[in-house]
Amino acid sequence: MLKKLICTAMLCLSSIAAFAHDYTLGDITIDHPWARATPPKAMNAGVFMLLTSQSGDQLIAVSSEIANKTEVHEMKMVDGVMKMRPLPAGLTLTPQQTVKLVPGSFHIMLLGIKQALKENDAFPLTLTFAKAGKITVNVKVQAMTDLTADTPKHGHN
């Protein structure tokens, strides 16, 4: 149901919403990992998904062969400017609460991507959780022209 709500908000095509694209690892559900398509010379890209842990966990590492570096970021207002910064200890998953990695909030940042991300492409991303361990998910690339207002701008502290 959550996926449907999220996809409606992002004006997903119904074919994307219908695509079975969930993963489970231990008691963690990873729902609809996707990345926003990038312009041809882009250096960075954002990856989004919904994470739910029944007993609580911590996303401590992320990696992908398509980027030089991969970080978990949060977005915060600093002096009236929205900035993103890495979460050094990773992302906390509170028991039974869905953590939404969505544009404008938490996200996984691919830094130094080796190629532009094109709509309908897919690539592997490995997530490591403190308790549940490791899983590699397939990230779908989607065009998100309706959400260009929060295209990642990098203001790393």
Site string for Cu ion, 105-134 (x = CB under 5 A): ----x-------------------------
Is residue 73 part of the contact set for Cu ion (CB under 5 A)? yes
Q: How far apart are CA 101 and CA 46, in angstroms?
A: 10
Q: 135 and 127 in contact (C-beta within 8 Å)?
A: yes
* # chain residues binding Cu ion, by CB under 5 A: 3
Angstrom CA distances, 111 to 65, 71, 88, stand at: 11, 8, 16
Q: By CB under 5 A, which span of 15-23, 24-32, 76-84, 118-126 interacts with Cu ion?
A: 76-84
Least distance from Cu ion to the Cβ atom of residue 71, Å: 7
Please give the DSSP secondary-structure letter assigned to residue 105: S
Q: By CB under 5 A, which span of 34-42, 94-102, 103-111, 133-141 interacts with Cu ion?
A: 103-111
Among residues 45 and 132, whose Cβ is nearest to Cu ion? 45
Question: CB within 8 A of 27, min separation 6: which ones?
Answer: 53, 54, 55, 132
Residue type for 139, please?
V
Q: Which residues bind Cu ion (CB under 5 A)?
A: 73, 84, 109
